[in-house]
Amino acid sequence: MPSYKPPMKDIEFLLKDVLHAAERTKDIPAYATADWEMTKMMLDAISDYAVKTALPLNKSGDAEGCTYNKENGSVKAPKGFKEAYDLYRSLGVIGLEGSLKYNGQEMPHYLGVGAKEIITASNFSLAMYGGLTAGAAKVLEHFASDEIKNLYLPKMYSGDWTGTMCLTEPNSGSDLSGVSTSALPQADGSFKVSGNKIFISCGEHDLSDNICHLVLARLPDAPAGTKGITLFLVPKLSPQTNETNGVKCTNIEHKMGINGSSTCAISFENSKGVMIGKPNEGLKAMFTMMNDARLNVGIQGLSLSEIAYQNAAEYAGVRVQGKLLKDAFNEQAKATAIINHANIRKDLVEMKAQIEGFRALAYDASIALDIAEKHPDADARKNADDYTSLLTPVLKSCLTDLSCTIAQKGIQIHGGMGYCRDMGVEQYYRDSLIGTIYEGTNDIQSIDFTFRKALKPKKSGAGAAKKPSDKPKGSPIPTKGLAGMFAKTSLGRMMIERKIRKAVDPTKPGTMLSTFAIPLAEEIKAAAKNPALREYALLLQDSMDSFTCAVGTLALQGMTGKADETLINARDFMDLFSKVAVGRMWLKMMTAAEAKMAADPGAKDFCENKMQLGDVYMKRIMMPEVKRLEMRINAGSGSIGKFSNDDLTP
């Protein structure tokens, strides 16, 4: 059976020495006592649960899966899940970040991220039930009436009731403008909700007493498209009478992974629901849960990456095969563990460097989320909110992509044994693939990052783009009169290009990118003064320069009538940013490691390991990948647009 050791030393180093979590959140009254000792105590208890209870059920739960009863629409979770879930909720994990007023513990998001990483690594499917409930409860905290909060939240934070998010319909996937589920007003202020939803994670099961569905639906007079969607809370059972409420599971999906988590088709037939938020503003409320879910999906990718790496490294240490290359012609030499072969060691080191770098980025985002939600200073909240908004699609996409890559490499290191289910490691690859698809595919995330975050110029102020009357709508290029003639000259094109690049300059205050670029510039400047870090500061500056050029290139493509080129390059653009963002985290970790090593000689080995991993990331991963991605972006669309549909159809 696969093993797992929660990476507590790495988490402690991040929260205490690198990211200074308690210091950055000390001005938030609710978190005044959230020091490392308290954090460690809670994570230790969660680690004990993860290793002793959740992990042993991961493989068996995958093999058994969930059982659907067609006669009554009920779903039974795999053997042992009910007892494990009861213990899970007794730890208070579901309400960890919830308000004290509603039976939550009101702990920082960074503690919640630690808990999610550890539990998800041990049993992804089991963690889904509580994770979705916490997300649904967060929506109710933000948008529901006091009456609804008082009725539902204590039960949800305790885990007695679970929650779901019901968006997708048979003919409406990621494009929610096609949602057709209806909601008819009733005399008592409630609504009768009718329609069908598919791909509803944990939509039916036997782990909790009730299931609370957040459902997107349309009122009778709703406008077409996404502007006509309203959010409703529809429980499986009436909270007052415990009677059935016209909610039925009509099927469960037979998936390639996360088999212990039920993914359901749900039918609502005149089901009584209550409106959450305002009419026709359902997406605004639902995006609270969706953004929370996207960050959580990123943590799922981190979790699967970590456990896949751990088992690959452990197997490589005991699997004896082949002599060292230097002993190839020495008949007396013995075979060695494959971890000693340079190519295997290279894979493991690069896997570890990426996992630790992305972990730092995810935890940094979680601290910023705490500040964005609860810091007393409005400017601090706005800056932190922009930063987390920028990172959300990056973490969701790049961490789930990473989990697929590392799970695949883990199988490769296991060789033929990894391809067999008996070893249990092929499950990580199957489980990881869903992360690249749900909560908006990774391509959709790259579009969000590129068009709504990175390339969004300031609305006003110096450097903002203007629209003279001689320009076509949406274009910065004049077409009429003397200005239009000048625009066709090489000097005119150069000046227009310069203006466009300036409009999306990452270091310009007030843009989302500035929340990343401005502090990064200061960090590079400080590190460059340290002889031990100067080389890495310069490498990071070079990479940031490449990203800045890519920002200008994509903006130029989009604003000069070549939007398809921007769309084609969106995924590469986001990946390029992720390499720089993780590089920034490694510069932070290397800075902290050097300081810690000087202050504590006993930490020398640990800190030297961090310095070496940072060196590998900067030189072997960040720089080569940044240059590769920059070249692809500069190539534009090439001949891609010349292919017709017929050319691509078999």
- Gap between the Cα atoms of 573 and 575, Å rounded: 5
Round to whole Å and give the CA distance between 128 and 262: 9
Contact 580, 547 (CB under 8 A): yes
Three-state secondary structure readout of 515-543 = HHHHHHHHHHHHHHCCCCCHHHHHHHHHH
- Judging by DSSP bridges, how do beta strands 161-166 and 210-217 pair with one another? parallel
- Nearest alpha-carbon partner for 181 in 135, 144, 234, 143: 234
Strands 230-235 and 182-185: unpaired
Cα 390 to Cα 452: distance, rounded to the nearest angstrom: 9
Q: Which residues contact 42 (CB under 8 A, 6 or more apart)?
A: 96, 107, 111, 115
- Asked if residue 544 lies in contact with residue 517, where contact means CB atoms within 8 angstroms, the answer is yes
Length of the chain, in residues: 650
d(CA 505, CA 39): 39
Picking from 155, 360, 166, the residue whose alpha carbon sits closest to that of residue 265 is 166
Give the CA diameter of the chain.
Answer: 89
Q: What share of the chain is helix, strand, coil (3-state, %, to 5)?
A: 60, 10, 30
Closest CA to 273 of 303, 335, 230: 230
Handedness of CA 217, 219, 224, 229 (dihedral sign): negative
Give the residue from 43, 135, 146, 46 showing the smallest Cα distance to 102.
146
Is residue 272 within 8 Å of residue 217, measured between CB atoms? no
Vertex 132 angle, CA 291 and 148, to 5°: 90
Helices 563-599 and 623-634: crossing angle, nearest 10°?
170
Q: Distance (Å, rounded) from C-alpha 639 to C-alpha 152?
A: 55
Nearest partner of 607 among 4, 5, 10, judged by Cα: 10
d(CA 183, CA 191): 6
**Residue whose token pair is 């769309």:** 567
Q: Which of 127, 247, 135, 132 is nearest to 197 (CA)?
A: 247
Strands 263-276 vs 182-185: parallel, antiparallel or unpaired: unpaired
Residues 191/183, Cβ–Cβ less than 8 Å: yes
Going by C-alpha positions, the residue among 329, 351, 348 that lies closest to residue 339 is 348
Structure tokens at 351: 């896997």
- Closest residue by Cα to residue 407 from 15, 602, 121: 121
Contacts of 186 (CB under 8 A, 6+ apart): 192, 272
Say whether 439 is catalytic.
Answer: yes
Give the integer Cα–Cα distance in Å for 45 and 49. Answer: 6
Which listed residue (439, 565, 594, 630) is catalytic?
A: 439
Give the catalytic positions in this structure: 439
